[in-house]
Structure 1
Amino acid sequence: MNFDEFTGQAQHRLGTPGTGETLRAIRATLMTLGQRIPEGNAEDLAASLPIEIKWYLTGAVHEHGQRFDWSEFVERVSEIEGVDPADAAYHARIVMDLVHAQVPESDFQQLRDMLPESESDENWRKLFEIVDAAD
C-alpha cells in the first residue's frame, strides 16, 4: 500500500474532513508509539509502511523506549493531534488497525508483547480493540 492509499483509508475510517487532519492523527499516534518502544522495534514495525508514514515511527522521535502507560499515551496523542483524549484514543485504535494490516504478523505481535497488560498500566489492550474485534 502506498502513501495515498494508506492516508485515504485512514481518512475514510477516521471520518476526518481533510488530509491534514488525517495526517495529524497518524503522526500523533505513530510518533507517540515510537517514543514508547525501543528503536529497533520501531524500525521493524515501520519497515512495511509507506516511507512517508514510516518516518513518524522512526525519524520523528527524539527518544525511543520511554516508559509510560496507556493514559499517558492517550494524553500525548491528544496533545500532538490537537483533539480531546477520547477522540485521540479512538484515532489511535484506527491507526493501529491500519498498521496491523500492513506489517508482518510477527512484527505486530512483537509490538503487542512489548506493551504490558497489567492493571497498573491501564491495559494497553485498548490500543488493539479494533484489531482484536476483526480477528
Structure 2
Amino acid sequence: MHHDELMGKVQVLAHLPDRNTAERAAHAVVSTLAERLPAGLARHVAAQLPPDMAVAMTEMTDTSGDGSGATGERFGLTAFAGRIADRAGTDEETALRNAVAVLEVLDAALAPELTERMAGALPADIRELLPVGRAAEYT
C-alpha cells in the first residue's frame, strides 16, 4: 500500500479533517506500537510499510542507544492511548479512535501472518483494537 492511499484510508476511517492530521495520527500510532512490539517484529512490520511509516516504526526500535533496538516495553491500553494522544496532540478518546483506524489500515497493508504475530505480541486490551482482536470477540 502506498503512502497516499494509506493516509487517505486513515483520514476516512478516523473521520479526520485533513491529510496532515491523518499523518500525525498514523505516525503517533505506529511509533507507539513500535515501542510495544519486540524489536525484530517491529522491523518486520516496518519492512512492509511505506518508507515514511517504516521510519516512524524503526526510529522507536533504535532508541536504546546501544544498537540493540530493544523495545517490547510492557504497557497496557491506558498507556498506549496516552502515548498516542501526547504524540498526536489529541485527547485519549480521539487517540483510541485513531488507533483503531490506523490498525485497520495496517491490517490491510500487512501480510496476514504478520498481523497475527503482531496480535500475539500485544496484551489483550490493546489487541482488541485490531480487526482480528475485535473479530475474536464474536467467535
TM-score of the two chains, using structure 2 as the length reference:
0.84
* Matched-pair contact (CA < 8 Å) for 1:46–1:54: yes
Deviates more, 1:10-19 or 1:27-36: 10-19
Runs of 4+ in 1 over 6 A off after TM superposition: none
Q: What SS class does the counterpart of residue 59 from structure 1 fall into? A: helix
The Cα offsets for residues 48-93 of structure 1, whole Å up to 9 and x where unpaired, read as 1111111111124524221111110011001111111011001001
Query: Structure 1: which 5+ runs fail to align?
Result: 118-122
Aligned-pair identity (%)? 28
Deviates more, 1:54-63 or 1:67-76: 54-63
Q: What SS class does the counterpart of residue 72 from structure 2 fall into? A: coil
Aligned partner of 1:67 in structure 2 is 74
Whole-angstrom CA distance in 2 between matches of 1:22 and 1:5? 11
Whole-angstrom CA distance in 2 between matches of 1:98 and 1:91? 11
1:124 to 123, 126, 139: 126
Whole-angstrom CA distance in 2 between matches of 1:112 and 1:126? 9
* Matched-pair contact (CA < 8 Å) for 1:3–1:50: yes
Alignment partner of 1:78 is 2:85: yes
Aligned residues: 129
Query: Structure 1 counterpart of 2:2, which letter?
Result: N
Aligned partner of 1:39 in structure 2 is 39
Q: What SS class does the counterpart of residue 129 from structure 2 fall into? A: helix
Alignment partner of 1:53 is 2:17: no
Structure 1 residues 131 and 95 mapped into 2: Cα distance closer, same or farther (>3 Å)?
A: farther
Alignment partner of 1:88 is 2:95: yes
* Matched-pair contact (CA < 8 Å) for 2:2–2:50: yes
Deviation, 1:98, is 0.2
The Cα offsets for residues 100-130 of structure 1, whole Å up to 9 and x where unpaired, read as 001111111111111122xxxxx22332258
Please provide the CA RMSD for this pair.
1.9
Whole-angstrom CA distance in 2 between matches of 1:129 and 1:6? 16
Whole-angstrom CA distance in 1 between matches of 2:22 and 2:117? 26
Whole-angstrom CA distance in 2 between matches of 1:16 and 1:90? 10
Aligned partner of 2:113 in structure 1 is 106
Deviates more, 1:53-62 or 1:34-43: 53-62
